[in-house]
Amino acid sequence: MSDPQPCRNLVVVLGDQLSPDLSSLKRADPASDRVLMAEVWREATYVRHHKKKIAFLFAAMRHFAEELRAAGWKVDYVTLDADGNTGSFRGEVARAAARHRPERVLVTEPGEWRVLEDLRAWPSALGVPVDIVTDTRFLCSVSEFRAWASGRRQRRMEHFYRQMRRKTGLLMEGGKPAGGQWNFDADNRRPAKADLFMPSPRRFEPDRTTREVLDLVARRFGDHIGDLEPFWFAVTRDQAQEALDHFMETALAGFGTYQDAMLRGEKFLFHSMLSVYLNAGLLDPMDLCRKVEAAYRNGQVPLNAAEGYIRQILGWREYVRGIYWMEMPDYGDSNALNAIAPLPDFYWTAQTRMRCMREAITQTIEEAYAHHIQRLMITGNFALLTGVRPQEVHAWYLAVYADAYEWVELPNTLGMSQFADGGLLGSKPYMSGGNYINKMSDYCKGCDYDVRRRTGKGACPFNALYWNFLDRNADVLKGNPRLNQPYATWAAMDADTRTALKAHAGEVLEQLAGGGPV
């Protein structure tokens, strides 16, 4: 730690703010101001984050502090084991304020409501003025999103996305969408086949700084979920850029087509594994979108791939953030389907006979990563169908994925996956029986359960649970036009079939409630 010296501004940089163009840094001056970064126990344990997530963030923070120093900034960096580390942001800011007696604290707005509430209390608690500066790393500001959303009966992502395409000019030609269509999702539903040439993300050897962090995490967070090694994430901006270039060369072209596919043993398929870097600030979303657009314009990748990828960043990523900041704090308590079951233990251990769940959870434990369809249609789908309390599902997703911060994780979990917001974010629940999983993956081959069977011993649990879910939630869901077809199919079944499906689902739910193996 450097000598205590007065400074004009104390710039607090949080763990997911690792961007040299950060708004708080832009407002400050290396000559007279000081940066504070701190590894704090409370942030690492308010949910028990995956070991790889903590290691990634601490390693990336330490490398970023070095980058700032090299650019002329004076940085106080408090490691987790440093003498006197109080374990909280507020405690560390208080100590730094006592050391440097700043005129004011500058901090870019955080990504979680919980932290924002804490920052707002700093001036009275610490006796220093605090400027909370708008985070300019997003393509749509919170106020812009509010203006778009207010007065709309429906706030559908697709409408928001079109507005963002017009605003940024991405994939636009003479005021019209490239290729004459806004969205090529219909081309993006193909299952994948095992292939020797399947891409995989760029991997990096840990350097000395990262090795020190890995030792620290092994020592202090040994009881948290997840495998720490092998650790291969990018931890600097240059490495993240390399990971992006590698994705564009090897996988982007197949991104659209195989976006919904799942394959045993293939953890990444044609996905980019870039959310970890984007969300921590190592990559810039607009820069990423421009590069993807250029790859399409150069003929490197087809339009459905470029459009599909840009839609995720420019559309979904910005949209869920807008919803989060508009709807918090009440959003976090929503539970439209009154789901109250506890999260099954096997979400932490992968000890389940359901092959699809075992695959998704095992790779989550190994990599702190699962791709979107695994999160939505495997682990999320199962929690939805079995009526797990959404807040427990949320705490799991927030803990286990290296890219998880509340602004992005909470709307995806509570809104998109668990329909806890009653349809604010998605027009219908994302749910399916075994058929969809069988169509989009090879998980069902070799599963202990039979995907073709709906009831009786060995029947795929997703099948009966699916119909039971529709029946159980009919009072909330039946009027939904997008569910007319499944409700009509349910109504057309004979009474004995319906009774047998409900009985079988009841058995599965009882087994789960008793903590039995499923």
Judged by the rule CB under 6 A, the positions of this chain that interact with ligand SF4 are 354-356, 434, 437-438, 443-444, 447, 449, 451, 460-462
**Could you give the string, one character per residue 279-298, with x where binding to ligand FAD holds by CB under 6 A and - elsewhere?**
x-------------------
> Applying CB under 6 A, does 281 fall inside the site for ligand DLZ?
no
Task: Among 7, 11, 14, 269, indicate the residue that binds ligand DLZ (CB under 6 A).
Answer: 14
Q: How far apart are CA 359 and CA 361, in angstroms?
A: 6
- Which DSSP string corresponds to 305-361? HHHHHHIIIIIIIHHHHHHHHHHTTGGGG--TT---BPPPTHHHH---S-HHHHHHH
Q: Residue 409 Cβ, how far from ligand FAD at the closest point, in Å?
A: 3
Task: List the end-to-end C-alpha distance of the chain, in Å, as a whole number.
Answer: 52
CB nearer to ligand DLZ: give 109 or 293: 109
Choose the contact partner of 462 out of ligand DLZ, ligand SF4, ligand FAD, none; CB within 5 to 8 A by kind: ligand SF4
CB nearer to ligand DLZ: give 88 or 435: 88
Helix 51-70 with 208-220: angle, nearest 10 deg? 140
Choose the contact partner of 397 out of ligand DLZ, ligand FAD, ligand SF4, none; CB within 5 to 8 A by kind: ligand FAD
> Applying CB under 6 A, does 334 fall inside the site for ligand FAD?
no
> Applying CB under 6 A, does 317 fall inside the site for ligand DLZ?
no
CB nearer to ligand DLZ: give 260 or 327: 327
- Which DSSP string corresponds to 281-293? TSS-HHHHHHHHH
Q: Which residues contact 142 (CB under 8 A, 6 or more apart)?
A: 134, 321, 322, 325, 326
Among 34-42, 225-233, 239-247, 335-343, the segment contacting ligand DLZ (CB under 6 A): 34-42
Q: How far apart are CA 37 and CA 454, in angstroms?
A: 54
**Could you give the string, one character per residue 114-143, with x where binding to ligand DLZ holds by CB under 6 A and - elsewhere?**
-x----------------------------
Choose the contact partner of 16 out of ligand DLZ, ligand SF4, ligand FAD, none; CB within 5 to 8 A by kind: ligand DLZ
Asked whether 44 and 80 are in contact (CB, 8 A), the reply is: yes
DSSP-derived 3-state class of residue 497: helix
Helix 113-126 with 89-100: angle, nearest 10 deg? 40
Choose the contact partner of 376 out of ligand DLZ, ligand SF4, ligand FAD, none; CB within 5 to 8 A by kind: ligand FAD
> Applying CB under 6 A, does 400 fall inside the site for ligand FAD?
no
Q: Which residues contact 184 (CB under 8 A, 6 or more apart)?
A: 256, 303, 304, 307, 308
Choose the contact partner of 444 out of ligand SF4, ligand FAD, ligand DLZ, none; CB within 5 to 8 A by kind: ligand SF4
Task: Among 48, 49, 137, 267, indicate the residue that binds ligand DLZ (CB under 6 A).
Answer: 49
Task: Among 33, 39, 76, 421, indicate the residue that binds ligand DLZ (CB under 6 A).
Answer: 39
Nearest to 356 by CA among 418, 257, 433, 277: 433
Q: What are the two backbone dihedrals, phi and then psi, of residue 11, each rounded to the nearest 5 degrees?
A: -100, 115
Q: Residue 89 Cβ, how far from ligand DLZ at the closest point, in Å?
A: 7
Asked whether 430 and 377 are in contact (CB, 8 A), the reply is: yes
Q: Residue 157 Cβ, how far from ligand FAD at the closest point, in Å?
A: 9
Choose the contact partner of 311 out of ligand FAD, ligand DLZ, ligand SF4, none; CB within 5 to 8 A by kind: none
Degrees (nearest 5) of the Cα angle 295, 299, 303?
75
